[in-house]
Amino acid sequence: MEIKIPAVGESVVEALLARWHKESGAVVRRDDPLCEIETDKITMDIFAEADGRLTVSVPAGTTIKVGTVIGLLEPGTAETAAGQTMAAGTAATMQKTSDPPTSPSVRHVLREKGLEAVQVTGSGPGGRILREDLSGGQIPVVKSEEPPDYHGTTSEANEDRRPDPQPSMGEERVRMSPLRKRIAERLLQARQQTAMLTTFNEVDLASLQALRARYKREGRAVGLLPFFVRAAVEALAAYPAVNARIDGDYIVYHQFCNLGIAVSGEKGLVVPVLKDAGGLALREIDAAIAGFVEKIKTNRLAIADLEGGTFTITNGGTYGSMLSTPIINPPQSGVLGMHAIVDRPVARDGQVAIRPVMYLALSYDHRIIDGREAVGFLKLVKERIEDQTWLDGVQ
C-alpha cells in the first residue's frame, strides 16, 4: 500500500514532509500517525490506513507535490509484520562513515524529528550539529544540495534550492516554513489590495460576566467567544456589507455567516470556520470551537475546516492585548478584534464607576463598507453584549 501526500484542498499543490513519526521498518497499527506534513494552509498528520510495516522512501524535510508516494505500508497484522526481519534493530542505527559527525544526544533528537544529519546545518566547530541547533520549535532544516530522487516528481519550487546565505556574527537564519510563508504573503496582500481602516468601541462586560457566572453555577458553563459569535451574527444581518466580498466589478452578499475563528497554534495562526454560524445555538458554537482546538492539538484539522469564511473574529485578549488593529482575511471584508477585559473607571449616570471593559476593533474594507455601517456594526455588537435579553429567544 502506497503512502501518498493527500489532496488536502483545491489550492494546495505541494507540501513539506516535516517529520516522520515512525522510522522505516517500524510496525504500525491502523490509525497510528505516520508523518506530519505542512502545507501553506495547514499542518496535519497522515495516518496509517491499515496494520503493517512502514518503509520510508522520502526523508523528512523534503518539499513534494501532492500525490507523491512518500513511503510504503506492507500490509499484514502487526503480529505477522513484527515477526519479520529482526536482528536486534541494529541496521536502523548504524552510522555510515560519510555521515557528518554528531553526538549521541544530537542523533537522538534527529531521530525524534525524523531528520538526517546531512539535512541540518550545524553551528559547532567545522559545521558540527550542536544540541542547541535542534532545540526550539523551528528546525533549521536545509535542503540538501542534491535533491533526493523520488521517482521523477520533483517540485517546481526550485527557489528553495539556492545555497543558504551564511549568517553574520550574532545572527541566526531560520528558513520560513510553508505555513509561515503563506501567512506572510496573505497579510501583505491584505494590506496592499484593500482599503483597510479600523474603528473602535468599548463594551461593558459586567452583565455578561454575571450571566456566565450563573450558567457556570448551574453546571452549563459557556465560553466568552460564543456570545461574540452570536452578537456578530446579529450585527452582520443588520449590516450585510460587512459580510460581503468584492468580486471584480460586483459586490457579493452572502446569505449565510461562515465565521472564521482565529486560533493560534504551535505552527502559526489557523482560522477554522464555523459554517452557518447563524443557525447554531450558543452551546453548539461552544462545542464546535472546542472541537477545532482539539483537532489543532492532534493535527487532525482538515482543509475543509478552513475554507469558506465570510467574516472573522480574532481574540487578542487571550494574550492580554489591550488594543490592536486586526488585518482582514481577503476576500473577506471585515474582521472583529476582541481584547483583554480590564477593570476601568467609567462614567455611569454621572458617577465614576469601576467596570470590566473590553475594547473592540473592527477592521473593514472601506471600498464596500462605509464608516456609518462599520460604526453601526460595532455599536450593535456592543449593545448585544451589554444586554443579553435578546439571547432568550435564540439560545
DSSP assigned state of 367: T
DSSP assigned state of 269: E
Q: Of 322, 316, 313, 340, whose CA–CA distance to 231 is shortest?
A: 313
Determine if 351 is a binding residue for other proteins (CB under 8 A).
no
Determine if 127 is a binding residue for other proteins (CB under 8 A).
no
Determine if 347 is a binding residue for other proteins (CB under 8 A).
no
Stretch that binds other proteins, among 85-93, 141-149, 297-305, 329-337 (CB under 8 A): 85-93
The nearest distance, CB 53 to other proteins, in angstroms, is: 9
The nearest distance, CB 146 to other proteins, in angstroms, is: 19
Determine if 294 is a binding residue for other proteins (CB under 8 A).
no
Determine if 45 is a binding residue for other proteins (CB under 8 A).
no
Determine if 138 is a binding residue for other proteins (CB under 8 A).
no
Instruction: Output 24 or 207, the one with its CB closest to other proteins.
Output: 24
Instruction: Output 90 or 192, the one with its CB closest to other proteins.
Output: 90
Stretch that binds other proteins, among 92-100, 208-216, 300-308, 324-332 (CB under 8 A): 92-100
Contact present, 380 and 234 (Cβ < 8 Å):
yes
Catalytic residue among 31, 164, 343, 370: 370
Determine if 211 is a binding residue for other proteins (CB under 8 A).
no
Q: Which three cell numbers stand for residue 86?
A: 529482526
Angle between helices 206-217 and 371-386 in degrees, nearest 10: 40
The nearest distance, CB 84 to other proteins, in angstroms, is: 8
Instruction: Output 20 or 292, the one with its CB closest to other proteins.
Output: 20
Determine if 27 is a binding residue for other proteins (CB under 8 A).
yes
Determine the Cα–Cα distance for residues 120 and 257; give it in Å rounded to an integer: 45
Determine the Cα–Cα distance for residues 50 and 78; give it in Å rounded to an integer: 9
Catalytic annotation present for 366: yes
Among 87, 169, 347, 352, binds other proteins (CB under 8 A): 87
The nearest distance, CB 175 to other proteins, in angstroms, is: 23
Separation in Å, CA 279 to CA 154, 234, 243, 313, 394: 45, 11, 16, 17, 9
Stretch that binds other proteins, among 82-90, 193-201, 211-219, 263-271 (CB under 8 A): 82-90
260, amino acid identity:
G
The nearest distance, CB 8 to other proteins, in angstroms, is: 25
Q: Which three cell numbers stand for residue 318?
A: 487571550
> What is the chain's percent helix, strand, coil content, to nearest 5?
30, 25, 40
Instruction: Output 13 or 130, the one with its CB closest to other proteins.
Output: 130
Contact present, 28 and 54 (Cβ < 8 Å):
yes
Q: Which three cell numbers stand for residue 155?
A: 517540485
Instruction: Output 77 or 193, the one with its CB closest to other proteins.
Output: 77
Q: Is the peptide bond before 331 cis (omega within 30 degrees of 0)?
A: yes
Determine if 93 is a binding residue for other proteins (CB under 8 A).
yes
Q: Of 85, 86, 82, 55, whose CA–CA distance to 71 is shortest?
A: 55
Among 1, 7, 11, 23, binds other proteins (CB under 8 A): 23
Q: Of 339, 370, 368, whose CA–CA distance to 356 is shortest?
A: 339
Q: Of 277, 264, 192, 294, whose CA–CA distance to 227 is shortest?
A: 277
Q: Of 259, 262, 279, whose CA–CA distance to 271 is shortest?
A: 262
Determine if 76 is a binding residue for other proteins (CB under 8 A).
no
Catalytic annotation present for 365: no
Determine the Cα–Cα distance for residues 381 and 323; give it in Å rounded to an integer: 17
Instruction: Output 115 or 313, the one with its CB closest to other proteins.
Output: 115
Place of cell 505477522: 80
Catalytic residue among 99, 108, 164, 366: 366
DSSP assigned state of 74: E
Site string for other proteins, 94-113 (x = CB under 8 A): xx-xxx-xxxx--xx--xx-
The nearest distance, CB 92 to other proteins, in angstroms, is: 5
The nearest distance, CB 75 to other proteins, in angstroms, is: 16
Q: If you write DSSP's letter for every residue of 336-359 in order, what string do you get?
A: EEE--EEEEEEEETTEEEEEEEEE
The nearest distance, CB 139 to other proteins, in angstroms, is: 14
Stretch that binds other proteins, among 18-26, 197-205, 320-328, 387-395 (CB under 8 A): 18-26
Binding residues for other proteins (CB under 8 A): 23, 25-27, 78-79, 82-83, 85-90, 92-95, 97-99, 101-104, 107-108, 111-112
Residues assigned a catalytic role: 366, 370
